[in-house]
Chain A
Amino acid sequence: MVVEIGGFAVADWVTLAPTLVLVAASLLVFLIDTVEPRPGSSSNAVLAAVTTVGSLLAFLVAGYLLVVGVGQERVTGPVSMFNGQLVVDGMSLFFVVIVGSVTALVALASYDYLAGEAYQAEYYALVLLAATGMSLMASANSLATAFVCLELSSLPSYALVAFYKDNRGSVEASLKYFLVGALSSSVLVYGISLVYAASGRLQFGAVAEQLGARPEFAGVLGVGVVMVLLGFAFKTASVPFHFWAPEAYEGAPAPVSAFLSSASKAAGFVLAFRLFLTAFPEVGGLAGGDPAVDWVVAVQVLAVVTMFVGNFAAATQEKVKRMLAYSSVGHAGYVLIGLAAISAPDSGFVLGASMMHLLVYGFMNTGAFLFVALAEQWGIGRTFQDFNGLSTQAPLACAAMTVFLFSLAGLPIGGGFISKLYLLAATAKAGTWLLGAALIVNSALSLYYYSRVVKAMWFEEPDGTVEIESYPTSLYAAVVIAAVATVVLLPAFGLLSPSAFNAASGLF
């Protein structure tokens, strides 16, 4: 198969270039570490640079492909390869952009964060491999590849969370993450097997074709669909398979938390979008008629419950990082609106909203966690009180954190404002008033707890015991870049929203 990119005819697998870049980078990291005379002595700078450049390259390439229209309606249409096991289209490229940007930020921040730690090369390699898995998830077009990619991203993540293997928190987080993950993947794969039982196919399109609107084994299929849904709920940290998230994010090294809560979540969502919209549209009643398996309503329920669980639990947290973890759960609930309100006549509008939210979320949430990483570096403690009066010592970082938090809360200081209102508009457009109401209530609550951090940083007096001595450059750079990106995404929202909309519309 041959596709055309920017005027050049190239083999179709070239469209997977972003993923390939990530793979190459991870191998390069391994290589560098291997050729080092003494194990573990490779330069942190070199490793971080390779990882950052690699993921940045993936980000740029994906962005380029997105801009020139690869895999999109206006040029070639979706590029399907390996017998339809993988597909490159606007949707996949869009999410690779998200994953690439988050990975780059995380890698950049990790340079300072990891300074002096052992097993640096392994860390970077695992990050890159997980990123590879995530970027492939965006392209996975069959239940088989989906599962494989998902595991490819999950397994390094477990290890990454346990990176501080002498730290009880890190280990405990990893254990819970792993155990919940293992249970979830069994549920997922069992669900896949049931879907296979009902349809005899694994490739998404083929499944849909085979099932039609009135599948033969509706009961089996129903169980399968619900279990698959929950399997993805794990990946996106949605209720009820979210239990790992607060602990994993809290215990993990902060850059890893950032990585998981932003990139991993996005990858989970893209897979869910693609699966449910290309494999189960008709059984879900999207093509009209009564649904055989009413997964849309199930998603609506999950979305509402996820919002409430995440935000209400976040509201009274004592630790900032754990609050961010719960808020991450809450945001999963917001993004689920993309699927929950999908029955609207103009579904691209709704799904596009979710995608844009994930994109913005990639920057603002990553930034917030990286700020926590910064605070961990400073050793000022983890609770809200520990942040008191921080703005007097680190105004720039605090300003950046304020941008992240307000953008997360949906105030017009960053792209999060438009993306959240876009979601709210989507609920109105779909006529799902309950979702809209839930979004409003939770958004208000989230504003409350986000501003607790802001309050601590700006309103409270410092207790005078904390002296910040170091200003780690790369961590600062990552935070500031994320902040700038978050802010710029407000005026520049329009540069990306058509891509999201088109990519979303392309799925139907």
Chain B
Amino acid sequence: MAILSEFYLLLSAAVFSIGLYGILTRSNALVFLMSVELMLNAANINLVAFSFHYGNVTGQVFSLFTMALAAAEVAIGIGIVLVLYRNFEDIDVTKAATMRW
């Protein structure tokens, strides 16, 4: 029996919210990155689920793109975290706050 698409929506919303929660509460750059991954994957859930719902593959294909881009983003992100550590001796994102106002 097919699961109603609405449930996928709920699931993805939950995953998205978890990711968002992580971003809001954690100051570790790596956790930040992971949370972003969660949010991206929430989108992927939707894409795949509704691809199934509509019976076209557009969504599924797009979710592949999303994953690839997520990986690229993380690659850049890790690089930045590296230089962050080099300059601030910490990967706490709240520490890098010299520029403000």
Contact = CB atoms under 8 A, between A and B. Distances in A.
Nearest to B8: A197
A159 B83 CA distance: 11
Contact of A251 (B32, B66, B99): B99
Nearest to B45: A193
Q: Which interface residue of B73, B76, B81, B100 has the most chain A CB atoms within 10 A?
A: B76
Interface stretch (A106-114, A180-188, A367-375, A423-431): A180-188
Interface in B4-21: 5, 9, 12, 16, 19
A158 interface: yes
Nearest to B36: A182
A246 interface: yes
A415 B54 CA distance: 49
Contacts of A175: 29, 80-81, 84, 93, 96
A190 B14 CA distance: 12
Contacts of B47: 193, 196
Contacts of A169: 98-99
Contacts of B86: 165-166, 171
A200 B12 contact: no
Contacts of B23: 183
Interface residues on A, range: 35 or more
Contact of B80 (A166, A174, A251): A174
Classify the interface of chain A: helix, strand, loop or mixed.
Answer: helix
A193 B43 contact: yes
Nearest to A250: B99
Contact of A155 (B49, B76, B97): B76
A201 B80 contact: no
Residue among A147, A172, A196 with max Cβ neighbours from chain B (10 Å)? A196
Given A169-B98, A175-B93, A196 B83 contact: no
A324 to B, nearest CB: 14
B80 A171 contact: yes
Contacts of B51: 196
B84 to A, nearest CB: 5
A143 B43 CA distance: 13
Contacts of B77: 158, 178, 182
A171 B50 contact: no
Instruction: Name the residue among A169, A173, A178 with the largest chain B CB count within 10 angstroms.
Output: A178
A166 B39 contact: no
A441 interface: no
Contact of B69 (A148, A176, A187): A148
Nearest to A193: B46
A165 B87 CA distance: 8
A4 interface: no
A246 B99 contact: yes
A165 B83 CA distance: 6
B80 A158 contact: yes
A144 B65 contact: yes
Contact of A189 (B58, B66, B80, B96): B66
Given A174-B80, A186-B43, A179 B99 contact: no
Contacts of A200: 50, 53-54, 56, 58-59
A151 B69 contact: yes
Given A158-B76, A159-B76, A196 B96 contact: no
A187 B40 CA distance: 8
A196 B69 contact: no
B80 A178 contact: yes
Contact of B72 (A155, A172, A190): A155
Interface in B29-76: 29, 32-33, 36, 39-40, 42-47, 49-51, 53-54, 56, 58-59, 61-62, 65-66, 69, 72-73, 76
Contacts of B83: 162, 165, 171, 174
Nearest to B55: A200
A155 B50 contact: no
A155 B73 contact: yes
A190 B80 contact: no
Given A166-B87, A171-B84, A196 B59 contact: yes
Contacts of A165: 83, 86-87
A69 B61 CA distance: 34
What 4 pairs across the A-B complex have the smallest Cβ distances?
A: A200-B54, A193-B46, A186-B39, A193-B43
Given A193-B46, A201-B58, 18 more contacts: A144-B58, A147-B69, A159-B79, A169-B98, A171-B84, A171-B86, A175-B96, A178-B77, A182-B36, A183-B23, A186-B36, A186-B39, A190-B16, A196-B47, A196-B50, A197-B9, A200-B53, A200-B59
10 contacts: A144-B58, A159-B76, A171-B84, A171-B88, A178-B76, A182-B77, A183-B39, A190-B43, A196-B58, A200-B54
